[in-house]
Structure 1
C-alpha cells in the first residue's frame, strides 16, 4: 500500500501541538531516558516504540477506565488506547527529529461486526525510501506487533471481506473525529460508543 502525505511539507510531521506536545517536561524526561546509551535514529526509534508498546498499558487490556489523549498525559498516567499511545510515540519520535505521521485502519470484530477506527503511526528514518507504519498498541495473545523497517509487523492485517480498510493518508495531526471523541469521553466505555467507525 502506498502511503500518501496529507501535508506536503515534512516539517508538519515534526511539529508540536496541544496533542503531540513534545516540548512538555514529561516527554523530554522520557526522551532523555530513552536516548541514554543509544546512538542513531534507528536505535532510538526502536527503543521509543518498544517503550510505548510495552510500558504504556492499553486501557482495554488492563481494564483502566481513564481516557488519555495528550502525549504527556499518556506518558505520565501510563495508559491509553491505540490513538493515545500513537500520540505518545509520535511525541517521543518528533522530539528527536524523526518525522512521524498518524495513520488509521478501519477494523472490526472477528465476525465483521462493530467497526472502529484504529490508530497507529508511520515514520521516516534516514536512508529509508519512504514511510513505514508501526503499531504501538501493545501485544496480547493473538497480537504480535514488532518494530520493523523491512516489512510491516502491525497488530492486525485488514480483511477486505469484512470491509476493513488501511487508510493511506498520513496525518500530521490527529483526525478531528478521533480527537473529538477522545476529548469528550468521560470514560473508556463511553469512548467506545463515541469513536468514529470510519474516516
Structure 2
C-alpha cells in the first residue's frame, strides 16, 4: 500500500516511515495491511489490525535473536511476546497509512503465576511494549499482548478496541482483582530499541532468560 506522508508535518510523518524492526515496507506486512484495511475507514481498519495482532498467540521472547523483534518475523513465526506484537501493530498501521509509534512501560502483573514470579524475581515486567496510533488527531494507546485463547485460560477479559478509547491491558479481572498496573512510562519510540532490550532483559531477569534458553519456558 502507498503511504502519503505529505499531509503530516515532519514530526508526525516520521511515524509513517518504515524502520529496521517496524518494517512496514515488508511485502508480507503490506499484503496483510491491504487485506485488513482496504475498503474500510481508518477507524475500522485499525480495529481489524488490532484484533489480528492481538490474536497472534503469545509466546516467550527470544532475546538472543534480534530478528525476533521485527514485525515481519512475528507475522512469519505466528507467535511472540508484547514487544514484537506491538511492533507488528505499528508496522501494519503505518502500511495502512496511519502514523504509529511504540511505547514502553514497566507493568505489574498481579495475577502472574507463582512460577512466573519465581523465575522473574518480581511481579514487575520491565519494558512492556504497546503501540500508539494517531487517529482523528489523537494518539490512541493499544496493547495487543494477550490473545483471546490465553485470556480465556487466564480467566481475564479479552481486550477489545472500539475504535475510540485506549485499549490498554485491563486493570482488573472479572472478579475485581487487580490485574495489570502501569508503574513507569519510558516514552515513545520510532523503532524497537532491540539491542538495548536484548541486553537489558537478561540482566534484569537472568533466571527467566536462562529458563527460556533451556526450553523450560515457551
- Give structure 1 stretches of 5+ with no counterpart: 1-7, 183-188, 194-199
Which among 158, 162, 168 is matched to residue 144 of structure 1?
Answer: 158
| C-alpha contact 1:31 1:92 (8 A) present in aligned 2 | yes
1:135 equivalent to 2:143? Answer: yes
Deviation readout 1:117-137 (Å, 9 max, x if unpaired): 211111111x34x21101111
Q: Counterparts of 1:191 and 1:156 in 2: how far apart (Å)?
A: 29
Q: Could you say which structure has the larger radius of gyration?
A: 2
Which has the higher mean CA deviation after the structures are superposed, 162-171 or 94-103? 162-171
**1:43 is paired with a residue of what secondary structure?**
helix
**1:57 is paired with a residue of what secondary structure?**
coil
Which has the higher mean CA deviation after the structures are superposed, 145-154 or 80-89? 145-154
**2:25 is paired with a residue of what secondary structure?**
coil
**1:80 is paired with a residue of what secondary structure?**
coil
Which among 156, 177, 197 is matched to residue 178 of structure 1?
Answer: 197
| C-alpha contact 2:46 2:93 (8 A) present in aligned 1 | yes
Q: Counterparts of 1:174 and 1:168 in 2: how far apart (Å)?
A: 12
Q: State the superposition RMSD in angstroms.
A: 3.6
**2:34 is paired with a residue of what secondary structure?**
helix
1:57 equivalent to 2:60? Answer: no
**Residue in structure 2 matched with residue 13 of structure 1 by the alignment:** 15
Q: Counterparts of 1:102 and 1:192 in 2: how far apart (Å)?
A: 27
Q: Counterparts of 1:166 and 1:149 in 2: how far apart (Å)?
A: 25
Question: How many residues of Structure 1 are paired with residues of Structure 2 in the alignment?
Answer: 174
| C-alpha contact 1:143 1:155 (8 A) present in aligned 2 | no
Question: 1:180-199 maps to which residues of 2 (within 5 A)?
Answer: 189-190=208-209
Please give the TM-score of this superposition, normalised by the length of structure 1. 0.72
Q: Counterparts of 1:144 and 1:66 in 2: how far apart (Å)?
A: 30
Please give the TM-score of this superposition, normalised by the length of structure 2. 0.67
- Give structure 2 stretches of 5+ with no counterpart: 1-9, 112-116, 173-179, 202-207, 213-218
